[in-house]
Structure 1
Amino acid sequence: MHSKVKMLLSLSLIVTAALSSAALAQNPKTVFTVVRDTQWGAENYNPFIPGDQHLLPTNSAIYESLFFVNSINGKVTPVLGTKYAWSKDNKTLTVTTRPNVKFTDGQAFSASDAAFSFNYLKANPALDTSGIWKSGLSSVKASNASTLVFTFATPNTPIFQYIAATPMVPEHLWKDVKDPSTFTNTKPVGTGPFMAESYSQQALRVLKNPNYWMAGKPAVDAVVWLATSTNDAAQLKLLSGEADYGYIGIPDPKAYAAKSADASYWWPTNNINFLYFNTVKGPFKDAAFRKAVAQAIDTKEVAQKAYAGAVPAANPAAIFPGQQKEWLSKAAKATFDVTAADKALTAAGYKKDSSGTRLGKDGKALPSFKILVGAGWTDFITMAQVVSNNLKKVGISTSIDQQAWGSYSGGLQTGSYDMGISWGWGNGSTPYYTFNAAFNPDFSAPVGKTAPSNLARYTNPAITKALKTFSTTSDEATQQKAIDTIVTTVMKDQPWVPLTDRVNFGLFNTSKFTGFPSAENPYNDASPDDTAGARLMFLNVKPK
């Protein structure tokens, strides 16, 4: 039997075992299959809790937001909102909501549901992971069935990106949910193009919403997610035709595309991969230590080995290419120099003993530090290997700590790690979003508590002030000065090391479907399949 046929039969058995007999009786004709190099947790479709806790279709297929903001070009696509406008003083944002939209239980969606969704975050601050209510917003009200009014005590125009992405839930169901942090929402009711249908640890399936508000969409009857444990296993499913799409960080996308006429990829840069230092944990508390460690890391080697030259080393200012022309006012150069790093460590009080082992300021050998990465993530594992080899040259011992998503993200957010490799947990159409998510005190937390996005737990009054300045003005020159202040301060204190540009890892098998996003048709930013941007892909792909 042909190997491809064997694999397709294997897929059929997996899905058959995973999905209920009632679901299979519906027999969707066109099924778009997504492969994920991860294992998901319990059945949970709560759109307000962090993405590692709810299932992948939640915010991509079932629930919808007001708008989608494309991170690579800033384009705003209307969803449940049709238009928006700021007042002259930037203290009022008025959104017109879409008419003739129904939730999947048949109830009408209105601006009241939208107002409820935002006020629900205010009533449950732990769910407000974007800090919408900590950023000058004072009220959200529906003035009528199709008008939503946001009032701000202080201007904050960058907050639009987070307002746009907030999921909308039905007030008539959620008003009775008393503890949303533990609510698993196993029978989700949204306005999205698909409805939750079947769940297992190996496969998820959602079915087409027959009453979806967008005429003629979606063009597929179902979307299925398949779980694998590694990037390599996910890539094999794509190459065999078992899957149509995967968000997979493989080392060399060009090599993947060369393996089959049906294999293609789109990897647009919209973020950066960082080596984060846990700045509340010694010796990473010491900026001099962090700066010397950063100097010992060859980011060009990191990028070359992790992505075979397909993705470059990051700019040390942590501003990615599409934004450098507008926002990088002064050239920033990498400082890689092993000899200088070795001397800087000694000068900072971290001497070497006769065997070349690096000592702490107390004269005792430094422990072996762990570099936290996602289990099976070959690109991050390779980055960690290069970093580990680089640091060995200055007498610092490290080991690579591979963790499944829950403990990986949990370790970063609760501050239990030494060093960790991850992306910027906030990005957008200007560098403000990267720096605000990374260094705003509102997004930090004491060790042991969950920090939404300030993974380094680093704050600085100069940065806090500059972030506020940027967000409360629309004057470009003033905003540029604020970004300059942030860049200068961050590069001096080195709470992270920008390693490589971060791309969205869109891999496709085009044998059965057309309409994938691309550089020629960038309707999304090659968004991960568990985010609002992926909804546009699920709506645009259609059978050949």
Structure 2
Amino acid sequence: MMSRRASARVRAATAMLAAAVVAVGCGSSGAPAGAESSTLVAYTGASGDFQINFNPFAPSNLGGGGTIFQPLFFYNVLRDADPTPRLGTEFAWNEDGTQLSITLRDGVTWSDGEKFTAADVVFTLDMITKHKGMNNTGYAGRAEAVDDTHVTIAFDRPSFLDGPSVLGKTYIVPEHKWKDIADPAVAVVKDPVGTGPYVLDEFKPQAFTFKANPTYWGGEPAVKKVRYLSLSGNQAGAAALKAGQIDWQTGPVPDIKDVGKTYPGYQSTITHANQIVLVTCSSAALGCQGPQTDPAVRQAIYHAIDRTQTNALAFENTSSDISPSFLLPGRDDALLSDKLQNKTAPMRPDQAKAQQILESAGYAKGPDGIYAKDGTPVALTLSVVAGWTDYITAVDTIGQQLQQAGIKLTPQQVSWNEFVDSRDRGAFQLIIDSLYQGPAPDPYYLYNFFYSTAQTAAVGAKPGPNVSRFSDPQVDQALDALKLLNPTDTTARQPHLDTIQTRIEQAMPYIPVLTQGTVNVYHEAKFTGWPTKDDLYASPAAWAHPDNAEVFMRLRPTGK
């Protein structure tokens, strides 16, 4: 974090950065007067050069989900509400959950003028089934076009829980553009064609711009351009925000509790959905190496963390409690298992308990104060993305806390590309990241993403979201059972949720830190219609998709 008392040098740097942002952001010198008043500049925390790719299924995609490529419906994971029609207008399940019928919006065209039909939906779903790397939810349906505006999807077994993924998180792509792509899971898409409210306008390594789609079926958006910047990190983002050169930023900024005074014309919304974790490469059987493959080491780390101190020093006390079950406190309280040892992770450390866990597992403290077993010390490397100042502070703070418990932690700052590469290959011991929610407000999705054997792979091979390489037959069986049940049958579901919660609390491949307070700062003086704590019609995070498209379509420039 920048100092709360900005020095003259910081103020000078702010002015220089503001000039740089203006240079990147103003577009052509021939832009009409007032054009910038309807251009929204967003910063998601990106650092380094952008690598062009608007493939919504590729891990390295830059965005476009919701803005360029649309889902059938929009699901709001922050509140329990009916999904909003997008490319679809209606859907219905048969009684046993083996057939999903969807009615599509008529009169929609792709941004190149071609007609959108049910054939595009069937093509997209078939493509996902043929390419495992695209199928992060285990979708196993068989889609069929009844006519141009109706699709049916048949399943071999009850599949109610596939609904939100198919309907809300599958971005429909044009068959006529994608049918000849050999490997769509990783293909680089430089010239995206979609049905959404925006199209790609300009791409540069430090900034790319979307412009309003004049033929969008819902009407051309009032926000005419959206420009995404890449800066050097959180401090640069805060400086640009201070200079008034960013309209929407998600990430830590100094003095967030007094945002209106610190950043005149701006307001903030803080949400609690993503859960900060220390991701461990946990499975020795799948090739992970290091002390973190021992559950006792992971449990010791869990008890040695001072979450109160970490929240204060790294997150300005904007984060909140986290449950080792990874249910969201508040939203999921009714589903919390009474068999858990801790309903929420302790906010204060218990060094004695951490040491007792290690000693019971055969570790002994060496003369340097670090525990070791069979000659191998509990010495670990924890990777964090360079420029993520809040996470960097958290890593440094946690390292000092673990030292007191006899665990050595070495922070390592890496670029985003290095971070993703080592994470996907399993070439890490610990990384700090967050677990995200699924397509609907149901914990099943997070469990299926991050704890299912089907979503992981051996070290060296690319996994799905389960980058910890965690695999547990009991968790897999419980997930399979949940998928067969109607999500409204809470009584039948609870025993399976109990199994998952207790097993992951014991194994702890993702060590809970805090439920992140996602800080979103927005330019209220320049645009109206932002999601607020009283009206969270979509996630207010600039990087959230397809939520950000919902926000862009609600905003109205004030002309300032």
TM-score, normalized by the shorter chain, greater than 0.5: yes
Answer yes or no: is the 8 Å Cα contact 1:302–1:313 preserved in 2: no
8 Å Cα contact 1:303/1:313 also seen in 2:
no
Deviation, 1:386, is 2.2
Answer yes or no: is the 8 Å Cα contact 2:275–2:436 preserved in 1. Answer: no
Query: Are the counterparts in 1 of residues 197 and 216 from structure 2 also a CA contact under 8 Å?
Result: yes
Residue among 65, 72, 75 paired with 1:59? 65
Give the direction of change, closer, same or farther, for the CA distance of 1:93–1:142 in structure 2 (3 Å limit).
same
Distance across 2 between alignment mates of 1:271 and 1:292: 23
Could you say if the C-alpha distance between residues 278 and 9 of structure 1 is closer, same or farther in structure 2, counting changes exceeding 3 Å?
closer
Matches within 5 A, 1:338-487: 338-360=351-373, 362-366=374-378, 368-427=379-438, 428-474=440-486, 475-487=489-501
- Aligned mate of 1:495, from 496, 504, 509: 509
- Distance in 2 of aligned mates of 1:505 and 1:431: 23
How many percent of aligned residue pairs carry the same amino acid? 27
Note if 1:14 corresponds to 2:18: no
CA 1:502–1:78: 2 relative to 1, 3 Å: farther
Cα shift at 1:32: 1.1
Secondary structure class of the residue paired with 1:386: helix
Stretch deviating more after TM superposition (28-37 or 7-16): 7-16
Alignment partner of 1:278 out of 275, 278, 281? 281
- Using the TM superposition, give the Cα deviation of residue 434 of structure 1 relative to its aligned residue in structure 2, in angstroms: 1.6
Gaps of 5+ in 2: 1-10, 284-288
Query: What's the CA shift for 1:28?
Result: 6.7
- Distance in 1, matches of 2:89 and 2:264, equals 39
Alpha carbons 1:250, 1:307 under 8 Å: kept: no
- The one-character-per-residue Cα deviations of 1:483-539 (angstroms, maximum 9, x if unpaired) are 111111111222222111134432112221111111222110224436211100111
The question of whether the paired residues in 1 share the 8 Å contact of 2:50 and 2:207 is answered with no
Do the aligned residues in 2 keep the contact of 1:35 with 1:237 (CA within 8 Å)? no
Gaps of 5+ in 1: none
Structure 2 distance, partners of 1:260, 1:120, is 46
Contact preservation (8 Å) 1:426, 1:438? no
Whole-Å separation in 1 of the counterparts to 2:180 and 2:21? 40
Residue 145 of structure 1 aligns with an amino acid whose one-letter code is: D
Q: Which residue of 1 aligns with 2:42?
A: 34
Over 3 Å counting, the alpha-carbon distance change for 1:316 and 1:178 in structure 2 is: closer
| CA-CA distance at 1:292 after TM superposition | 2.0
**Structure 1 partner of 2:311:** 303
Query: C-alpha separation between the residues in 2 aligned to 1:24 and 1:166?
Result: 37
**AA partner of residue 97 (structure 1):** L
CA contact (8 A) 1:207 1:222 kept: yes
Aligned to 1:109: 116
* Contact residue 321 and residue 344 of structure 2 kept, 8 A: no
11 and 503 in structure 1: CA distance in 2 versus 1, 3 angstrom threshold: same
2:269 is matched with 266
| C-alpha distance in structure 1 between counterparts of 2:522 and 2:542, whole Å | 13
Amino acid in the other structure paired with 1:470: L
Helix, strand or coil for the counterpart of 1:322?
coil
Q: Aligned to 1:501, what secondary structure does the other structure show?
A: strand
> In structure 1, what is the equivalent of residue 336 of structure 2?
328
Report the equivalent of 1:534. 548
Deviations 1:314-339 (A, max 9, x none): 12332112323221142625354101
Q: How far off its partner does 1:231 sit? A: 0.9
Is the 1:37–1:233 contact (alpha carbons within 8 Å) kept by the matching residues of 2?
Answer: no
Aligned to 1:520: 534
Query: What residue in structure 1 maps to residue 5 of structure 2?
Result: none
1:21 CA displacement: 7.7
In the alignment, the residues of structure 1 paired with residue 37 and residue 399 of structure 2 have an alpha-carbon distance, to the nearest angstrom, of 49
Alpha-carbon distance, 1:242 to partner: 0.8
Question: Would the aligned equivalents of 1:374 and 1:402 in 2 still touch at CA under 8 Å?
Answer: yes
**Matched pairs, number:** 531
**Shift of residue 34, structure 1, vs aligned partner:** 0.8
How does the TM-score come out when normalised to structure 2? 0.89
1:234 aligns with 2:237: yes
In structure 1, what is the equivalent of residue 3 of structure 2? none
Shift of 1:41: 3.1
- Write the distance in 2 (CA, Å) between the matches of 1:537 and 1:267: 16
Give me the TM-score of the superposition, normalised by structure 1: 0.92
Q: Which stretch has the larger CA shift, 261-270 or 28-37?
A: 28-37
| Cα separation, 2, equivalents of 1:104 and 1:28 | 24
CA RMSD of aligned residues (A): 2.4
Shift of 1:40: 4.6
- Of residues 315, 320, 327, the one that matches 1:312 is 320
Partners of 2:322 and 2:37 lie apart in 1 by 44
- CA-CA distance at 1:8 after TM superposition: 5.7
Query: Residue type matched to 1:80 in 2?
Result: L
**CA-CA distance at 1:437 after TM superposition:** 1.0
